[in-house]
Amino acid sequence: MIIRKNSLIFAALLCTFTLASCDEGDIVAKDEGVQTAGKTACLNATLSGTDSWSSQYNIVLAGFAEGSSNAVVQKPLQATDGTPVHTTLSLSDNDISTIELCVTNRLRQRIVTFASVPASQLQGDTVFLNVGNVDIGMFKTIQDLVFTGTCARCHGLGLTPAAGLTLIEGQSYDQLVNHPARLPENGLRVVPGSVDESLLHKVINGDPSAGVRYDHANMIKEGTTLTLIDNWIKAGARP
């Protein structure tokens, strides 16, 4: 009995000790956290596809807190295709964990990120984001965000593309825009300027009037991505 009691006391002491040292660890981690307020992010990039984005979106240099998709701070870029952009962004807040070259909507929600650097890579007072040449076009973004990863396995990567529709990079645009649907009664796959007449819009939103038996609803999980495709169609479905 006595031995048991002693070992219990020992275990309790050990616990307290371990907890205390965990706590200490926490405090140290906080002290060492990156203090971003008052620091600067600096972007060097050469972009293409800048003018393909519709007016609902901004191409920005932005700071995000961990786990959040809303920019804490952002600066829209005045970028022209092929001309090097040098932009700085003042970091207003200590919670910023990444600096990103990205596109945000009017609510400052991140739609797509083209390049990102952790705030912990501060060199003195500056975090550098040197990204070289990047194609940030709106259709290229839809291809990379949706078609390549979610659709191409049935539409183009197998032996026979489903519904005769190939959504592989380089072929998807011609297969969609002004292209007749498999069934004549379904009209065109994408009608530039008209979401309601575009079969693509109906199919990915699970609209039964599309007359497609295979249910595509919920294949695209993010509401902002469905809206992105609609806005691309509305703005003229440019390549």
Q: Is 196 in the site for ligand HEC (CB under 6 A)?
A: no
Q: Which two tokens stand for residue 40?
A: 């600067």
Binding span for ligand HEC by CB under 6 A among 19-27, 56-64, 89-97, 215-223: 215-223
Return the closest-CA partner of residue 223 out of 69, 50, 61, 115: 69
Binding span for ligand HEC by CB under 6 A among 40-48, 122-130, 135-143, 197-205: 197-205
- The correct pick among 40, 48, 150, 171 for binding ligand HEC (CB under 6 A) is 150
State the CB neighbour count (10 A cutoff) for residue 144. Answer: 15
Q: Distance between alpha carbon 63 and the CA centroid of its chain, in Å?
A: 14
- The correct pick among 42, 219, 226, 235 for binding ligand HEC (CB under 6 A) is 219
- The correct pick among 61, 103, 165, 233 for binding ligand HEC (CB under 6 A) is 165
Q: Is 220 in the site for ligand HEC (CB under 6 A)?
A: yes
What are the backbone angles phi and psi of residue 3, rounded to the nearest 5°?
-60, -45
Q: Is 189 in the site for ligand HEC (CB under 6 A)?
A: yes
Measured distance CA(155)–CA(169) in Å, rounded: 11
Position 231, amino acid? N
Residue closer to ligand HEC, measured from CB, 32 or 196: 196
Measured distance CA(6)–CA(142) in Å, rounded: 66
Least separation, in Å, of the C-beta of 179 and ligand HEC?
A: 8
Q: Is 154 in the site for ligand HEC (CB under 6 A)?
A: yes
Cβ-based neighbours of 79, under 8 Å, separated by 6 or more: 45, 47, 50, 59, 85
What is the rounded (10 degree) CA torsion for 131, 118, 222, 104?
Answer: -60
Least separation, in Å, of the C-beta of 177 and ligand HEC?
A: 12
Q: Is 226 in the site for ligand HEC (CB under 6 A)?
A: no
Least separation, in Å, of the C-beta of 229 and ligand HEC?
A: 8
Q: Is 110 in the site for ligand HEC (CB under 6 A)?
A: no
Number of residues that bind ligand HEC (CB under 6 A): 24
- The correct pick among 84, 182, 227, 236 for binding ligand HEC (CB under 6 A) is 182
Q: Could you tell me the CA-to-CA distances from 197 to 31, 203, 205, 219 in Å, in that order?
A: 57, 11, 13, 21
The CA radius of gyration of the chain, in Å to the nearest whole number, is 25
Question: Is 210:238 a contact under the CB 8 Å cutoff?
Answer: no
- The correct pick among 65, 115, 163, 226 for binding ligand HEC (CB under 6 A) is 163
Q: Is 37 in the site for ligand HEC (CB under 6 A)?
A: no
Tell me which residues touch ligand HEC (CB under 6 A). 146, 150-151, 153-155, 162-163, 165, 181-183, 186, 189, 199-200, 203-204, 212-214, 216, 219-220
